[in-house]
Amino acid sequence: MTAAVLSVRDLSVRFRMRGDRHVAAVTGASFDLAAGECLALVGESGCGKSVLASALLGLLPGNAQTAGSATVDGLELLGADERTLARSVRGRRVALVPQSPAAHLTPVRTVGAQLEETLRALTATPRRELRRAAVAAAERAAFPASHLDRYPHELSGGLAQRAATALALIGDAPLLLADEPTTGLDRDLVNRTVDELRRHTDDGATGRALLMITHDLAAAERIADRVAVMYAGRIVEIAEARTFFGEPGPLHPYARGLLAALPERDFTPIPGMPPELGDLPDGCAFAARCDRATGLCATRPDFASGLACHHPAAVPGERSAAHA
Amino acid sequence: MLELDTITAGYDRLRPVVREVSLTLAPGEAVGLLGPSGCGKSTLAKVAALLHRPYAGRVVIDGEPARGWRHTAPRAQRTAIGVVFQQPRMSADPRLPLRDLIAEPLRATGRRDEVPARVGELADTVGLTGELLGRRPHEVSDGQLQRACLARALVLRPRWLICDEMTAMLDASTTAALVAVVEEYRAAEGAGLLAVGHDSILLERWCDRTVHWQTPPTD
Amino acid sequence: MADTLWRSTGRTRRSTRTVRISFSAVTVAAVVLAVLIVPPLAQLDEQAVDLSKKLLPPSWEHPFGTDDVGRDLLLRCVYGLRISLLVGLVAALVATVVGTLVGAAAAAFGGWTDRIVMRLVDTFASVPHLLLGIFIVAMFRPGVWPVIASVALTHWLSTARIVRSEVLSLRSRPFVDAAISGGASRLRLTARHLLPSVLPQAGLAAVLMVPHAMWHESALSFLGLGLPTHQASLGNLVQSARSSLLAGDWWPTLFPGLFLIIPTLAIAGLAGAWRERINPRRRSELML
């Protein structure tokens, strides 16, 4: 087992609101991510998964407070000052593959010019070699060199996504962070986009770590090694993708419900809606919507062996034993 | 019947994105229109909802040809068709609390007195609870906002419903919940549905029949 | 988890901004209070000439000194600020209302209406607006209303442009499609969805225009084309102090100048804070 590239321990983020209220967007998230591994963080909109990504990039708004720790390559990200974030985190340790690549690229400059600028900022490439380095950087993301002189609006959605990925890969960051990389794309484009992300994860001697935040379970199934399910700000289950999507399936009732809601499965929604992050119950946040809930669920289940549930579909130990 | 008859439409007369497309929906029928991103299916959806004037072709709603587009379409024709768009955040007036967002079509058509009963009933149907209704769009999640947008589309009891990539930004459970609301409404009112999207698994499960977008011959 | 250690991510710039805002707010409050309270309370007549006291430097009795005919400058400055502020406020208000209506109408109707109205705006804007303002005041007798008309009529153009482009960008949003599909009439769409969304922008333009309009009034008065010379406007005060400045008497120029600069900066400061408030509201604060 290789050492973790990203190590998150008890990460919490809350927002200070008017009237001394707090909204607990992320609570007690812990996980490790190794090089060459892809972890998909799934959950419904508003469950806190984008906040977690913003925390790793130091992009939280001014009214946010953080607790716990998140290290990449041994460097603590939480509480790092703006200078550290700009100089040694963004682009160098953590690279972002954005949700809408078209909005992420500067509209008034060609893709080639943007690649060269990023190369100048992040690497020590001599000026006369910039063009060649830009071509090489484009190639890594399968962006055709013949299109380097085009402006972002002259590119198709797929090519814009590759251009943004090429930019993200320049700094050779050990951690790739993809925040909803497939929203609004059709299935073919989703498959191509995530396949390329997977390729970048496996690339090189050790590979990169890929944290993909998505609500698209099919995209997660396609490329993830492990899946983390987030509900109401907490990670409720982390499992191997193989057992999660295949047999025996997820253990947490929420994760089971999420999978069952897929049109290729039961197509039945989980009843009710998630609780407000500003007004979470003391016990299990899913109890109100759960058909397995009992009086025990009024106390919060601990997160142990990759699961936080009093009444899982199977005992976590049995599952790992079955696949040992 | 909702008939789209040899529609040609787009944003540049020389290069229309929709070329001579015809499609007919029977009352109570659910039709899925499948096509890749950017193929023009959303433009066709806007034409069907009388929100975009086509260059050629006609739209016939319940036997009556459309006599205008956008504001020039008679109100009765416009409101016979409910629409839900892909991005809830763009399709909600950012200043209106969800309650007013849902009630707006009733107020705009002078049916104020129906507001309390109808909004309450629809909020229940789409699963929005009391306190959420008082919030404005930036205070709720995409999923919650799309629930309100669906309620708004149903508030005037349209005979036809057009869902343009309604669930593209939503998680599996919210998707299934919103589709269930649409199906419940269709069963109760006998409304016809045109669901536009790119997810064939979803549309084939949801609709009675699906139509694949034919790439128009380029000349 | 009561013992969780929370770290703030808030940037330190926040506090300097707070200082700037409160400084601006206090100044604006003081100015408004001064121009409202001082004139009725002061027993002195700002017009009273006392040639035995002409051009006295600042002292306890006359903190700002006196002018070349012995009038108290502090009192004249307050009166001047009062007139300038009044002209600025009314002119900015008129310009904003006219600009908003014209801009919104052009965008809402579109087509030929839009083309004709915007060409008209371009034509007006191609003439230097101080020149146009001079032309307008020159047609009337010196007085408050010609100055207000001159400033207002030359300043609605930018507001009309801002409002038009804002309404145009709103009009292409799906929520407008949803409103039309929900049966909203053209009037209702404009009144309920489009105008209220641009009002914060228009209001901001109005506040930013107040200092600008005050400077314009001063410029016109300084050129002798604005208010009647006996009226204590800030422009007139600076104008009449020119001769004494050449003789080395600095106070009749300095104090009216400060009275023009500080309140206008404070108003602009407040407007800047407002702009920061209304802009980032587009996306959810909670990043939901």
By Cβ distance, the residue of A12, A23, A51 closest to C4 is A12
Per-residue confidence (pLDDT) for residue B218, from 0 to 100? 45
User: Which residue type occupies B132?
Assistant: L
- Contact residues, chain A, for C4 at CB < 8 Å: 12, 67
- A18 in reach of chain B (CB within 8 A): no
Angstrom distances, CA of residue C177 to CA of B15, B105, C108, C183: 23, 12, 14, 10
The bridge status of strand B81-84 relative to strand B2-9 is unpaired
Q: What percent of chain C has pLDDT over 70?
A: 86
Question: Do A45 and B36 make contact, defined as CB atoms within 8 angstroms?
Answer: no
Question: Do A15 and C286 make contact, defined as CB atoms within 8 angstroms?
Answer: yes
Whether C286 has a pLDDT exceeding 50, the answer reads no
Predicted complex ipTM: 0.91
Confidence of residue A207 (pLDDT cuts 50, 70, 90): confident
Examine the fold and report which residue of A172, A203, A223 is the final residue of a domain before the chain moves on: A172
Return the C-alpha torsion angle C117, C123, C124, C128, nearest 10.
160
Closest CA to B85 of B148, B3, B172: B148
Q: Which CATH class is domain C90-279?
A: mainly alpha
Question: Do C179 and B138 make contact, defined as CB atoms within 8 angstroms?
Answer: no
- A215 in reach of chain B (CB within 8 A): yes
Residues A57 and C9: their CA atoms lie apart, in Å, by 12
Confidence of residue A321 (pLDDT cuts 50, 70, 90): very low
- Helix (H/G/I), strand (E/B), else coil: A25: strand
Q: Mean pLDDT across the stretch B193-213?
A: 92
User: What are the pLDDT digits (tens) for B119-170?
Assistant: 999 999 999 987 889 998 988 888 999 999 999 999 999 999 999 999 988 8
Per-residue confidence (pLDDT) for residue A238, from 0 to 100? 95
Closest CA to A27 of A55, A63, A4: A55
Token pair listed for C2? 């009561």
Whether C62 has a pLDDT exceeding 80, the answer reads no
Per-residue confidence (pLDDT) for residue A263, from 0 to 100? 92
Residues A181 and A101: their CA atoms lie apart, in Å, by 9
By Cβ distance, the residue of B71, B85, B139 closest to C180 is B71
By Cβ distance, the residue of B37, B38, B143 closest to A45 is B143
Residues C37 and C30: their CA atoms lie apart, in Å, by 10
User: Which residue type occupies C258?
Assistant: L
- Mind telling me how many Å the CA of B141 is from chain C's nearest CA? 5
Three-state SS string over A41-66 comes to EECCCCCCHHHHHHHHHCCCCCCEEE
Same domain, A71 and A218: yes
Residues C259 and C271: their CA atoms lie apart, in Å, by 19
Q: Mean pLDDT across the stretch C26-48?
A: 74
User: What are the pLDDT digits (tens) for C203-226?
Assistant: 888 888 888 888 888 888 888 777
Examine the fold and report which residue of A149, A172, A195 is the final residue of a domain before the chain moves on: A172
Residues A130 and A137: their CA atoms lie apart, in Å, by 10
Three-state SS string over chain C comes to CCCCCCEECCCCHHHHHHHHHHHHHHHHHHHHHHHHHHHHHCCCCCCCCCHHHCCCCCCCCCCCCECCCCCEHHHHHHHHHHHHHHHHHHHHHHHHHHHHHHHHHHHHHCHHHHHHHHHHHHHHHHCCHHHHHHHHHHCCCCCHHHHHHHHHHHHHHHHHHHHHHHHHHHHCCHHHHHHHHCCCCHHHHHHHHHHHHHHHHHHHHHHHHHHHHHHHHHHHHHCCCCCCCCCCCHHHHHHHCHHHHHCCCCHHHHHHHHHHHHHHHHHHHHHHHHHHHHCHHHCCCCCC
Q: Mean pLDDT across the stretch A213-222?
A: 92
Per-residue confidence (pLDDT) for residue A317, from 0 to 100? 55
What's the farthest any 2 CA atoms get from each other in chain C? 79
What are residue B210's DSSP bridge partners? B32
**Which of C166, C167, C175, C190 best tests the B interface by mutation, with the highest count of B CBs <10 A?**
C175
Chain B residue with CA closest to A257: the answer is: B173
Residues of B with CB under 8 A from a CB of A: 35-38, 86, 127, 129, 140-144, 165, 168-177, 179-180, 198-202, 204-206
Query: Which of C270 and B73 is assigned the larger pLDDT?
Result: B73
Whole-angstrom Cα Rg for chain B? 17
User: What are the pLDDT digits (tens) for B16-44?
Assistant: 888 889 999 999 999 999 988 777 888 99
Instruction: Report the half-sphere exposure of C7 (CA within 13 A, side-chain side).
Output: 16
User: What are the pLDDT digits (tens) for A259-317?
Assistant: 999 999 999 999 988 888 888 888 999 999 998 888 899 999 988 888 899 988 875 55
Per-residue confidence (pLDDT) for residue B156, from 0 to 100? 95
Question: Do A277 and C286 make contact, defined as CB atoms within 8 angstroms?
Answer: yes
Residues C231 and C254: their CA atoms lie apart, in Å, by 19
Q: How many CB pairs under 8 A join B and C?
A: 81
Q: Write the DSSP assignment of A192-244 as a string of letters.
A: HHHHHHHHHHH-SSS--EEEEEES-HHHHHHH-SEEEEEETTEEEEEEEHHHH
Per-residue confidence (pLDDT) for residue A315, from 0 to 100? 59
Range of the domain at A116: 101-172
Same domain, A26 and A126: no
Q: List chains adjacent to chain B, taking adjacency as at least 3 C-beta pairs closer than 8 Å.
A: A, C
Residues B1 and B167: their CA atoms lie apart, in Å, by 25
Q: pLDDT averaged over chain A?
A: 86
Per-residue confidence (pLDDT) for residue A233, from 0 to 100? 92
Question: Do C178 and B70 make contact, defined as CB atoms within 8 angstroms?
Answer: no
- Mind telling me how many Å the CA of C119 is from chain B's nearest CA? 25
Q: Are A223 and A62 in contact (CB under 8 A)?
A: no
What's the farthest any 2 CA atoms get from each other in chain B? 56
Determine how many CB atoms are found less than 10 A away from the CB of residue B38. Answer: 12
Confidence of residue A2 (pLDDT cuts 50, 70, 90): low
Q: Mean pLDDT across the stretch A110-128?
A: 87
Same domain, A147 and A191: no
- Helix (H/G/I), strand (E/B), else coil: A289: helix
**Of the ranges A137-141, B60-64, C67-71, C110-114, which is most confident?**
B60-64
Domain-wise residue ranges, chain C:
90-279
Q: Are C274 and C207 in contact (CB under 8 A)?
A: yes
Which residues numbered 164-193 in A keep a CB inside 8 Å of some CB on B?
183-189
Domain-wise residue ranges, chain B:
93-156
Residues A42 and A166: their CA atoms lie apart, in Å, by 25
Q: Mean pLDDT across the stretch C164-192?
A: 88
User: What are the pLDDT digits (tens) for B95-128?
Assistant: 899 999 999 999 999 999 999 999 999 999 999 9
Chain C residue with CA closest to B96: the answer is: C193
Same domain, A111 and A180: no
Predicted TM-score of the model (pTM): 0.82
Sign of CA dihedral A284, A285, A287, A291: negative
Whether C240 has a pLDDT exceeding 60, the answer reads yes
Question: Do A65 and C8 make contact, defined as CB atoms within 8 angstroms?
Answer: yes
Per-residue confidence (pLDDT) for residue A16, from 0 to 100? 84
Whether C12 has a pLDDT exceeding 50, the answer reads no
ω into A248 cis (within 30 of 0): yes
- Helix (H/G/I), strand (E/B), else coil: A139: helix
Q: Where residue A32 sits, what CATH number does that domain have?
A: 3.40.50.300
Chain A residue with CA closest to C11: the answer is: A62
Residues B1 and B28: their CA atoms lie apart, in Å, by 9
Tokens 């601006």 appear where? Answer: C24
- Mind telling me how many Å the CA of B173 is from chain A's nearest CA? 5
- Mind telling me how many Å the CA of A259 is from chain B's nearest CA? 7
Number of folded domains in chain A? 2
Instruction: Report the half-sphere exposure of C148 (CA within 13 A, side-chain side).
Output: 16
User: What are the pLDDT digits (tens) for A299-313?
Assistant: 999 888 888 999 888
Per-residue confidence (pLDDT) for residue C288, from 0 to 100? 40
Question: Do C7 and A78 make contact, defined as CB atoms within 8 angstroms?
Answer: yes
User: What are the pLDDT digits (tens) for C74-105?
Assistant: 888 888 888 888 888 999 999 999 999 898 88
Q: Mean pLDDT across the stretch C15-36?
A: 80
- Contact residues, chain A, for B175 at CB < 8 Å: 261, 263, 269
Question: Do C174 and B71 make contact, defined as CB atoms within 8 angstroms?
Answer: no
- Contact residues, chain B, for C200 at CB < 8 Å: none
Strand order in the sheet with B30-34: B81-84, B160-164, B192-197, B30-34, B209-212
Chain B residue with CA closest to A264: the answer is: B201
- Contact residues, chain B, for C284 at CB < 8 Å: 138-139
Q: pLDDT averaged over chain C?
A: 79
Same domain, A272 and A288: yes
Angstrom distances, CA of residue A97 to CA of A165, A210, A212, B55, C261: 6, 10, 9, 39, 48
Question: Do B81 and C181 make contact, defined as CB atoms within 8 angstroms?
Answer: yes
Question: Do B37 and A258 make contact, defined as CB atoms within 8 angstroms?
Answer: no
Examine the fold and report which residue of A121, A141, A172 is the final residue of a domain before the chain moves on: A172
Token pair listed for B21? 């497309």
- B81 in reach of chain C (CB within 8 A): yes
- Contact residues, chain B, for C177 at CB < 8 Å: 46, 49, 51, 83, 85, 91
Question: Do C285 and A15 make contact, defined as CB atoms within 8 angstroms?
Answer: yes
Per-residue confidence (pLDDT) for residue A122, from 0 to 100? 84
Q: What percent of chain A has pLDDT over 70?
A: 96
Whether A41 has a pLDDT exceeding 90, the answer reads yes
Q: Are C220 and C270 in contact (CB under 8 A)?
A: no
By Cβ distance, the residue of C180, C281, C288 closest to B78 is C180
Residues B123 and B60: their CA atoms lie apart, in Å, by 32
Question: Do B156 and C174 make contact, defined as CB atoms within 8 angstroms?
Answer: no
Q: List chains adjacent to chain A, taking adjacency as at least 3 C-beta pairs closer than 8 Å.
A: B, C
User: Worst-scoring range by mean pLDDT, A95-104, C116-125, C269-278?
Assistant: C269-278
Residues of C with CB under 8 A from a CB of A: 1, 4-11, 14, 285-288
